[in-house]
Amino acid sequence: MAQDNADLRALLTAAIVAGPYVLVGHSMGALLVRRYANRYPEGVVGMVLADPTHENTRLFFTADNQWKRVREQAMAMGADFQELHLARQANPVPLGDRPLIVLVGTRADPNVSTPEDVAREKAAQWEDQPQISRNSKLVRDPSSGHHIHVDNPMLVADTIEEVVTAA
């Protein structure tokens, strides 16, 4: 993710896309835009997170058939998750008063079987995500699954417009 943030900053500079920016991230991309905002806070005025991955999430790893926290795994992605986890511990409200809307698709995926404790933890993480800003809200969309931008693109577009206006 560190290189992704450097690449995005270089791309925006080379393309002469002047900030400030409203960043939008889906799933793992939510971690990317949160990390960008941590690294370059002066250029970020708002954010939309669409069905975001939480820095403390657990994912299924088939090697040992266990749901494990990504940040506790010895891999590059684990280090990225751990960095965001530690940054959040140090600064629980990194966006301050900048507008943030978190969109969550609540329609269940019939192809995914998630243990009850992991499902409860994910629901709690939905509630936690908006806490990174004092100017935030959580929007649940029962008509969408994880790919909320595909299932309900107008909701995503309207939400981006709302954050741009608020910023």
Q: Which CATH number belongs to the domain containing residue 103 in this structure?
A: 3.40.50.1820
Answer yes or no: is 120 within a domain.
yes
Answer yes or no: is 5 within a domain.
no
- Whether the CB-CB separation of 139 and 105 falls below 8 Å is answered with no
Quote the pTM value: 0.85
Q: Which amino acid is it at 58?
A: R
pLDDT band, very low/low/confident/very high, at 67 (cuts 50, 70, 90): low
Number of domains in the chain: 1
Q: How many residues does the chain have?
A: 167
The answer for residues whose C-beta is within 8 angstroms of residue 42's C-beta and 6 or more apart is 20
Position 71 scores a pLDDT of: 65
Position 162 scores a pLDDT of: 98
Answer yes or no: is 63 within a domain.
no
Q: Which residues in 19-163 belong to E strands, given as ranges?
A: 21-26, 44-50, 58-61, 66-69, 99-105, 135-141
pLDDT band, very low/low/confident/very high, at 18 (cuts 50, 70, 90): confident
Residue 119 pLDDT exceeds 80: no
Nearest alpha carbon to residue 54 among 35, 90, 30: 30
Instruction: Report the percentage of the chain scoring pLDDT > 70.
Output: 84
Residue 62 pLDDT exceeds 70: no
Mean pLDDT of the chain: 86
Answer yes or no: is 75 within a domain.
no
104: three-class secondary structure by DSSP? strand
Position 63 scores a pLDDT of: 64
Domain limits for position 104: 15-54+93-166
Residue 64 pLDDT exceeds 70: no
C-alpha 71/C-alpha 58 separation (Å) is 9
Answer yes or no: is 141 within a domain.
yes
- Looking only at the bridges linking them, the beta strands covering 99-105 and 44-50 are parallel
Answer yes or no: is 78 within a domain.
no
C-alpha 102/C-alpha 122 separation (Å) is 14
Answer yes or no: is 122 within a domain.
yes
* Paired tokens of 18: 């002047």
Answer yes or no: is 83 within a domain.
no
